[in-house]
Chains A and B, each alone.
Chain A
């Protein structure tokens, strides 16, 4: 393997592991914000217990998110020193802002987790979720602007191989920023809503504590409501993305779609297998004219084909499969959440209620599939800008470090992620396996269900 490939593999490995926890980090605060609000508003200890249990599990994932985030932050300089030397001149600002956002979130998260019962007025505790949500979402926003810059550089003049007249704010607000930030944030919210829906569905399918049924049904309803809204927004974000790619990164769109000839009335290709030599696609599902419509809302939109892109600037064609997976899984989750509400509305007539076991199995798949969609989407985005690290200005092969020892580093990190991943799952499973929600509710909020009676309420730790 050559150095650039090892560097790419290691960065890809770190990011694919980190994105799981980063997504949880961005999405979960919204969930406990909504749940705690419902709980206080309705004076229903079920929702409060749910918020608290989720917050408890969240702490463990935050730890892994923090350490992997630290790793990627430093790894950029360790593996791609030339890129960061350039990046320091242009993208330092959003990186710095991200640190502040994260700082802000970390402080309030610490306070939030340890002050459940400190306030007379429960709303004061709920207020703490606001800085947490703001901090975690802004982290995602700022870091996405950095990635957007790498895809569509802006905010400088390029004179004789030098970057001059640098405008940090213009670099942050480059052409792809808005679309990508929107896409990243709503998909994170959506994925976590479905992850929680998966937990509710699985718990309803395999009831260990019968008294928890009510609790999980309530949970499912909240998660499906958040899920359906965010999934619709994601659909919108996907549409924006296609249009911006057509305008700004045509080679990426063409590689997604195995679109070789520049033409109008371009077909949308789903699935299929490609013979790269002859540029022939087999077994595909071809939807006529739709690619043109997606790219510019009209069948007359001319979509650039790969054959008009220089050979050494074409992204790898494998990314089409990631595109298929992402779209398919995202659509699946949207469809299932709509089914949930249809079943709920029509249960009077069809006798199939929204908690029918077959439906529960369908809900249970949404969480894992949404996560796979996130991974596929990032693989797509990142492999789609190959061979560039800063599109049009710096190639990946020129940015990789000269130092020896990349191979061993890759092995060490692979082991580390395996260990952290396994332990994290083990701790989370143990945390919730033998404790029914009802039991925790009583220990936190007493028999009456809302106020702790003996003062032992709200201990986060055993």
Chain B
């Protein structure tokens, strides 16, 4: 039996990117809502809940991202060349934002008194990071990279005036607020904190409509920008249909104040179906039309070694993550704040 490395590689990476989207959204959104509630004076209601969740898990969020970009360069080294060259500036800006957020979150959490400016720093950068990272996905659709004799260039003006590009950026920002408010509703309900639940539920319901609208724009933008991909996406219409169905269930449950846990699972499914639908319809290209997974996969020996290490790594990671979740996510006393640390 031969293992099909290119499929293993892309599946693994795409799954990790999906997990990063969910976890980072919760993280970034929570930071933003924390700042927003400070401005509106609701912080005494919600901030303790947010910090109870974020404190033990913030170190892990970043790792999902590192895992993804180390993995993609490992499995498909050409991505380092094409995306590395074109993303020098956008990538550096994303890195700077990511650093400010990560560092100031910790600075503020462990400083003797919290500062509003620091809340603002990590709250606002948290919304800009997904926007800047999503540029990489936009570029991968093709049409923004020009290959010349000297090397490759990013067509910056093309990117700046692209409806598709902007719709993806807004999708990233809105998704962050949507996913994180959904999660915080579940977490606050688990803590049996009625006030906090009401507040987060309102935020969630506010963000449902923009989420629906922006996804339509992304589809329209894609149709104009990369018809081939759009055609291909239609072959997977049922995935996007399931995604919409999951969203409707989630909104219904949260609106009726029931089963917040199930509701959050539905939100995850909503993004899961859409994300994998987008991913599958993109294949075989990682960066259209330069990087095709069947021709740019790393040499066989390395692919084999990476797959083995990945399997062994998961054996180690999954129990550890389960332990982390059991201690800080599903431990009722901890979530309620009754547990001394």
Contact = CB atoms under 8 A, between A and B. Distances in A.
Interface of A: 56, 59-60, 62-64, 66-71, 73-82, 84-90, 92-93, 95-100, 102-104, 106-111, 113-118, 131, 166-169, 401-406, 408-409, 412-413, 416, 420, 423-424, 427, 430-431, 434, 452, 455-462
Contacts of B87: 78
B59 interface: yes
B302 A89 contact: yes
A384 B225 CA distance: 49
B317 interface: yes
Nearest to B324: A107
A77 B59 contact: no
Chain B interface mostly: helix
Given A68-B99, A456-B340, A100 B313 contact: yes
Interface in B100-124: 100, 102-107, 109-112
B310 interface: yes
B161 interface: no
Contact of B96 (A85, A103, A416): A416
A118 B63 contact: no
A99 B306 CA distance: 12
A424 B305 contact: no
Interface stretch (B147-155, B182-190, B257-265): B147-155
26 contacts: A63-B58, A63-B107, A64-B103, A66-B102, A70-B65, A77-B73, A77-B80, A85-B77, A89-B298, A92-B77, A93-B309, A96-B306, A96-B310, A102-B66, A106-B62, A107-B59, A107-B324, A110-B56, A114-B55, A114-B328, A167-B301, A401-B88, A402-B152, A412-B92, A423-B104, A461-B109
Interface in B304-318: 305-306, 309-310, 313, 316-317
A93 B306 contact: yes
Contacts of B51: 461
B220 interface: no
A107 B321 contact: yes
B284 interface: no
B73 A166 contact: no
B89 interface: yes
Nearest to A117: B340
Given A100-B309, A103-B60, A107-B324, A92 B95 contact: no
Given A84-B77, A89-B298, A77 B60 contact: no
A90 B302 contact: yes
B214 interface: no
B107 A100 contact: no
Chain A interface mostly: helix
Contacts of A89: 77, 298-299, 302
Contact of B110 (A59, A67, A409): A59
A78 B84 contact: yes
Given A88-B76, A430-B112, 4 more contacts: A88-B302, A107-B60, A403-B153, A409-B88
Contacts of B75: 88, 92
A115 B341 CA distance: 5
A77 B107 contact: no
Nearest to B319: A107
Interface of B: 51, 55-60, 62-63, 65-67, 69-71, 73-78, 80-89, 91-93, 95-96, 98-100, 102-107, 109-112, 150-154, 298-299, 301-302, 305-306, 309-310, 313, 316-317, 320-321, 323-324, 327-328, 339-341
A88 B80 CA distance: 8
Contacts of A63: 58-59, 102-103, 105-107
A108 B60 CA distance: 10
Given A84-B84, A409-B89, A104 B70 contact: no
A113 B324 CA distance: 12
A88 B133 CA distance: 22
A409 to B, nearest CB: 5
Contacts of A106: 59-60, 62-63
Given A71-B95, A106-B59, A431-B110, A401 B340 contact: no
Contacts of B340: 117, 452, 455-459
A167 B299 CA distance: 10
B74 A427 contact: no
Contacts of B93: 412
Residue from the set B57, B86, B89, B99 with the largest chain A CB neighbour count within 10 Å: B99
Nearest to B102: A67
A455 B333 CA distance: 14
A109 B51 CA distance: 17
